[in-house]
Amino acid sequence: MKSGQGHSLAIIAGGGVMPLEVARLAQRCGWNVHIAGISGFADTRIEHFSHVWVKLGELGKLYRQLEAWQCRTLVIVGAVIRPQFGDIGFDLGALSSLPDIAKLLRGGDDSVLDGVVRFFEGRGYEVLGPLDVAPQLAAEAGAMTANEPSGDTLADIRQGAELLRVMSPFDIGQAVVMASGRAIAVEALEGTDAMLERAAALRASGRWRVKGRCGVLVKLAKRGQNLRVDLPAIGPRTIELARAAALEGIAVGAGQVLVAERERTLAEAAKAGLFLYGIDP
Amino acid sequence: MKSGQGHSLAIIAGGGVMPLEVARLAQRCGWNVHIAGISGFADTRIEHFSHVWVKLGELGKLYRQLEAWQCRTLVIVGAVIRPQFGDIGFDLGALSSLPDIAKLLRGGDDSVLDGVVRFFEGRGYEVLGPLDVAPQLAAEAGAMTANEPSGDTLADIRQGAELLRVMSPFDIGQAVVMASGRAIAVEALEGTDAMLERAAALRASGRWRVKGRCGVLVKLAKRGQNLRVDLPAIGPRTIELARAAALEGIAVGAGQVLVAERERTLAEAAKAGLFLYGIDP
């Protein structure tokens, strides 16, 4: 964690509420927060902060604004659907950056995100992760709910975490549903939500035959995952899907998995009788 | 492989065409083949062979018939939906076996299959696998189609096989879809067909963004998988689903993955322009 101490921080904001949460918590940590909201993606509530709207491709405008804010430190957060190069309206100030941008749009998903960080670093900016400026966003170790995993479930959590670790060198292994020593579903490209929907469907179809609450979602950062731009996260939707799959709870890497909308997420977990548990990584 | 040399072999037949294929090929290998078809599951074409119909639970009838056939060697093949204990109509001859049966119905899927083998072994039978009596059923090493994997695709196949190997100790890791160095989908409880449907859906939704034929299904036996009762298999349906996902082809463990309805499977792979490739395990 970096303490703000009145330093300027620019949040480059994509979609969702995360940029707003990061902004609020970073302010509490003493940062002088500004937000550059990406038009068409960022929540309009960024306007409650010092802000500017930039279109994808308006790099000249962004660079000028960062200079006006005297800001050399960035956090990039929020969803942006990867655009096609030809769909981006570049401004004059973006011209010198076009070759780099074309290159980074060609790679896989992970390499785009890594590329964005390298892009700004190459221009002299310091790029921090959301957890660097707002560590309160991450799960803490141990039970975050009144419910706790049983001994058997702790064994499933350990086994799931180990499975994720061995898959990690293959650039997958972010999440898995474990139950009674078995892997019910393993996440690859589909994402955590779709994997949880699959677990629910496997129960509904009788392929996963079990009565009552059973199973746990285990979610960790991949080894070497760039937590500055690609933070594993859970939130109210994760709770809803875990409840629909009749899981017992959710275990996430402490200090590395972001709990979005924490108050609401914890309240809904409690209401659904799910545990939320931080694994000491 | 065991040569038949006129010895008696009883095939305990569940659903599907596999029991018929095993019967035909085992005959060619010199076995004196009998089939005990499980009522409600086995294909009626077992009646072209020396056969008996037994209901689940008619163990007394089965034991007597095996004795009449002078048959101490079994192959168990074909699908049987795991029944509830209370739904099985046991005959008198099954009474002494009930505690064992109750125990094996309580376990997970794998342990049921292992349990069935141990059950018959405990009664003095030798239980062989389909590949022991009909090795022609398995994939051979190298390209089985005119199409062959490219160099890049061979790298994906190697990486997929390695991923399956590291997952194997967790009792998963039977199949994976790889493309351009990435794992697109990993099979757990849902089975290979459902995983291939997911790969197709990921393409259709644009989450897996790629043009033209891309990706390969890699399927291997799990380490320690009991190939006597739980044989990984591909067949015409696998080809159909791989085609629907616009994959380039399918790679399977040579000598360990069964190619069901081989002629039809190879013909449909050729028609779809897919390669079928055996990995030297």
Whether B167 sits inside 8 A of A171 (CB atoms) is: no
Report yes or no: B10 and B73 within 8 Å, Cβ to Cβ. Answer: yes
The CA distances from residue B147 to A153, B179, B215, B251, B275, in Å, are 47, 17, 14, 12, 5
Bridge partners of residue A276, in order along the sequence: A250
Could you report the per-residue pLDDT of A74-119, keeping only the tens digit for each? 999 887 776 677 777 788 888 777 777 777 666 555 556 677 788 8
* Mean pLDDT, rounded, for B31-54: 95
Average confidence score pLDDT of chain A: 90
Is the per-residue pLDDT at B260 higher than 70?
A: yes
Local structure of A161: helix, strand or coil: helix
Please count the other Cβ atoms lying within 10 Å of the Cβ belonging to residue B101.
19
Whether B185 sits inside 8 A of A184 (CB atoms) is: no
Bridge partners of residue B33, in order along the sequence: B9
Please count the other Cβ atoms lying within 10 Å of the Cβ belonging to residue A5.
9
ipTM (interface predicted TM): 0.84
Cβ neighbours of residue B95 under 8 Å, at least 6 residues apart? none
Whether A185 sits inside 8 A of B184 (CB atoms) is: no
* pTM score of the predicted model: 0.86
Please count the other Cβ atoms lying within 10 Å of the Cβ belonging to residue B10.
25
Token pair listed for A16:
């969702």
pLDDT computed for residue A115 by the predictor: 74
Distance of CA A192 to the CA centre of its chain: 11
Distance CA B78, CA A75 (A): 57
Percentage of chain A lying above the pLDDT 90 cut: 67
* Pick among B106, B112, B157, B166 to test the A interface (most A CBs inside 10 A): B166
Local structure of A183: helix, strand or coil: strand
* Pick among A81, A110, A182 to test the B interface (most B CBs inside 10 A): A182
pLDDT computed for residue A53 by the predictor: 96
pLDDT computed for residue B113 by the predictor: 67
pLDDT computed for residue A109 by the predictor: 52
Give the nearest chain B residue to A190 (CA atoms): B202
First to last CA, chain A: 17
Distance CA A90, CA A95 (A): 7
User: Which ranges of chain B would DSSP assign to H, the alpha helix?
Assistant: 18-28, 59-68, 98-106, 109-122, 130-133, 151-167, 192-204, 236-244, 262-272
Could you report the per-residue pLDDT of A155-165, keeping only the tens digit for each? 999 999 999 99
Whether B183 sits inside 8 A of A166 (CB atoms) is: no
Q: What are the φ/ψ torsions at residue A169 (nearest 5 degrees)? A: -60, -15
Report yes or no: A272 and A243 within 8 Å, Cβ to Cβ. Answer: yes
Is the per-residue pLDDT at A124 higher than 70?
A: yes
First to last CA, chain B: 17
Distance from CA of A61 to the nearest CA of B (A): 31
Q: Considering only CB atoms, which chain B residues are within 8 Å of A202?
A: 189-190
Q: What angle do CA B5, B6, B7 make, to 5 degrees?
A: 95
Chain B residues at the A interface, defined by Cβ less than 8 Å, are: 82, 108, 159, 162-163, 166-167, 170-172, 176-177, 180-191, 198, 202, 207-208
Is the per-residue pLDDT at A1 higher than 60?
A: no
Whether B186 sits inside 8 A of A186 (CB atoms) is: yes
Could you report the per-residue pLDDT of B129-147, keeping only the tens digit for each? 999 999 999 999 999 999 9
Distance from CA of A189 to the nearest CA of B (A): 5
Could you report the per-residue pLDDT of B76-88, keeping only the tens digit for each? 988 777 667 777 7
Q: Which of B159, B170, B186 sits opposite A159 (nearest CB)?
A: B170
Distance of CA B223 to the CA centre of its chain: 15
Whether B183 sits inside 8 A of A185 (CB atoms) is: no
Secondary structure letter of residue A83 according to DSSP: P
Q: Which of A217, A199, A218 is nearest to A208 (CA)?
A: A199
Whether A207 sits inside 8 A of B198 (CB atoms) is: no
Q: Which of A76, A51, A73, A52 is nearest to A5 (CA)?
A: A73
Whether A182 sits inside 8 A of B108 (CB atoms) is: yes
Distance CA B252, CA B140 (A): 9
Give the nearest chain B residue to A171 (CA atoms): B182
Chain A residues at the B interface, defined by Cβ less than 8 Å, are: 108, 159, 162-163, 166-167, 170-172, 176-177, 180-191, 198, 202, 207-209
Could you report the per-residue pLDDT of B158-215, keeping only the tens digit for each? 999 999 999 998 988 799 999 999 999 999 999 999 999 999 999 999 889 888 999 9
